[in-house]
Amino acid sequence: MSADFKPTARSKVKRLHKRAHYDRATVYAIIDAAVLAHVGYVIDGQPFVTPTNIWREGDRVLWHGSMASRMLKTVREGVPVCVTITHLDGLVMARSAFHHSVNYRSAMLFGRAEMVTDKAAKARALEAFVERVAPGRWATLRPMTAQELKGTMVVGMTIDEAAAKVRTGPPVDDEPDYALPIWAGVVPLTLTAGQPIADPRVATGTPVPSSLARYDIEAYGREAPRADAAG
Amino acid sequence: MSADFKPTARSKVKRLHKRAHYDRATVYAIIDAAVLAHVGYVIDGQPFVTPTNIWREGDRVLWHGSMASRMLKTVREGVPVCVTITHLDGLVMARSAFHHSVNYRSAMLFGRAEMVTDKAAKARALEAFVERVAPGRWATLRPMTAQELKGTMVVGMTIDEAAAKVRTGPPVDDEPDYALPIWAGVVPLTLTAGQPIADPRVATGTPVPSSLARYDIEAYGREAPRADAAG
């Protein structure tokens, strides 16, 4: 793994420095636990924030979409981009309103995107995306056509700078407030996957592939599905 | 409720028009189901996307933070802002890679933020935020001090333009592909709340307030906690 990110004027966390992380392991774990990111870009001074699905390959994040997408047409020009990923992990209920907070893991990634133009590289990137979400699925699908590949834009952004911010644990209250008879603690939040719902046009008896068994989405890219969610 | 939003050059959904919605009921339901938003703003041509907690009051969204926050110091100046909220509702597994998709509800809100400077209005806004997450909690807390109120910045943004984009339902495959023996369907995803975890310093026997009983976070601002999650 390359050297850690260096905090810059752009990426340095200004508030609550103790929550800041610049090491690649932390940043990449936050990326790899997500399928959703928010891509920020500027058109004529106006910021836009577009949700999209992302995945990571080494020091790059990739995302894709239609050739007609305004977001993709803008970012492929190499303009500055900010990609932010956030996992909301809990509501932190303190003894005073002021110390209420949330537990979260977020990563802010800075760079410039470029189109993946090589056909083979583009096909491999799309395969990697499907495989990440459902390992083993790509080989079972109706193969991608040349026209589909042509109509899909894939962009990659080398992460030039990045900062992660993480809060975990119980509330941190003012010392005298701990004596108050107020319940305080955390309501944990998790993005959870339910049982797959078959398309009504799937033939009766078609088994749900094991890659789509109910699992903890937080496990993406990090570890095998949790045993307790594999039913 | 005011008239619906009018699609403009800025807000009009460019791709997949059938997923677009400009009515306030749809946009507001997406906002009210969320506690997390991504705020986009520009500093010297560089886009930034900062995650933050938001809430809505009528035609405005509000968010808050420290007086030292770079994001808040920027947006309070009345620069163009884009606030995006996204709920990831499912992974859509089709019979071809091309038609894989996600189910989601997203809203992109455009406007300019301004500081809430009136002390009473600011206190009311913060109370509304806590009450939204945990109805009835505000009155049970150690009261907010003048210094805490002073150190907290609240900004509000009247939503000038907005667009929602929603995808639901099973995959839409190419007609010939339906005959293939490939499982297709949706893996539903939900942000779920677990049992509250008490701060270790809470006195034994302090009851978990009913406002924090396990509930479906999607219900925020819309309806009472679901009966099946009230345990």
Q: Assess whether pLDDT exceeds 60 at residue A24.
A: yes
- Other C-beta atoms lying within 10 Å of the C-beta of residue A203: 12
Determine the average pLDDT of the residues in B106-111. 98
- Paired residues of A153 in beta bridges: A65
Q: What percentage of chain A carries pLDDT values higher than 70?
A: 91
A interface test, pick of B142, B167, B172, B192 with most A CB neighbours within 10 Å: B142
Output the DSSP codes for B38-54: EEEEEETTEEEEEEEEE
Q: Which of B46, B144, B198 is the closest to A10 by Cβ?
A: B46
Buried (b) or exposed (e) across B33-51, using 16+ Cβ within 10 A? Answer: bbbbbbbbbbeeebbbbbb
pLDDT in tens, B121-153: 999 999 999 999 999 999 999 999 999 999 999
Give the separation between CA A172 and CA B201, rounded to whole angstroms. 10
Burial class (CB in 10 A: 0-12, 13-18, 19+), B181: exposed
Burial of B206 (0-12, 13-18, 19+ CB in 10 A): middle
pLDDT higher than threshold 50 for residue A129? yes
Whether the predicted pLDDT of A152 surpasses 70 = yes
| pLDDT computed for residue A229 by the predictor | 32
Please write the tens of the pLDDT for every residue from A42-99: 999 999 999 999 999 999 999 999 998 999 999 999 999 999 999 999 999 999 999 9
CA-derived radius of gyration, chain B:
21
pLDDT > 90 in chain B, percent: 75
Q: What is the pTM of this model?
A: 0.91
> What is the pLDDT, as a whole number, of residue B1?
63
Interface test with B, best of A161, A183, A218 (most B CBs within 10 A): A183
Pairwise CB contact (< 8 Å): B36 & A170: no
In sequence order, what are the residues at sequence separation of 6 or more whose Cβ sits closer than 8 angstroms to the Cβ of residue A68? B14, B15
Pick the CATH number of A17-169 from 3.40.50.720, 2.30.110.10, 3.30.365.10, 3.40.309.10: 2.30.110.10
Cα-based torsion angle of the residue sequence A123, A158, A192, B187 in order, rounded to the nearest 10 degrees = -20
Distance CA A44, CA A25 (A): 35
Residue B48's Cα: distance from chain center in Å? 18
Residue A10 has pLDDT above 90, yes or no: no
Mean pLDDT of A174-187: 96
Domain with CATH 2.30.110.10 in chain B: 17-172+180-189
Q: Which of B115, B134, B145, B104 is CA-nearest to residue B221?
A: B134
Q: What percent of chain B has pLDDT over 70?
A: 91
Give ranges for CATH 2.30.110.10 in chain A: 17-169
Residues of A in contact with B10 (CB under 8 A): 46
Q: To the nearest 10°, report the CA torsion of A156, A161, A163, A164.
A: 30
pLDDT at A2: 72
Q: Which residue has the higher pLDDT, B27 or B224?
A: B27
C-beta of residue A196 within 8 angstroms of C-beta of residue A208: yes
What ipTM goes with this model? 0.91
- Segment A107-132 shows an average pLDDT of 97
Query: Rounded to an integer, what distance in angstroms lies between the CA atom of residue B195 and that of residue B198?
Result: 9
Which helix (H) or strand (E) segment is B70 a member of?
helix B70-75
B198 contact residues in A (CB cutoff 8 A)? 183-185
pLDDT in tens, B40-80: 999 999 999 999 999 999 999 999 999 989 999 999 999 99
- Using CA of residue A114, residue A115, residue A120, residue A121, what is the dihedral sign? positive
Q: With cut-offs at 50, 70 and 90, classify the pLDDT of residue A221.
A: very low
Instruction: Report whether pLDDT(B220) > 70.
Output: no
Alpha helices in A76-209 (DSSP H): 119-133, 146-151
B17-172+180-189, which class in CATH?
Answer: mainly beta
Nearest CA in chain B to A175: B201
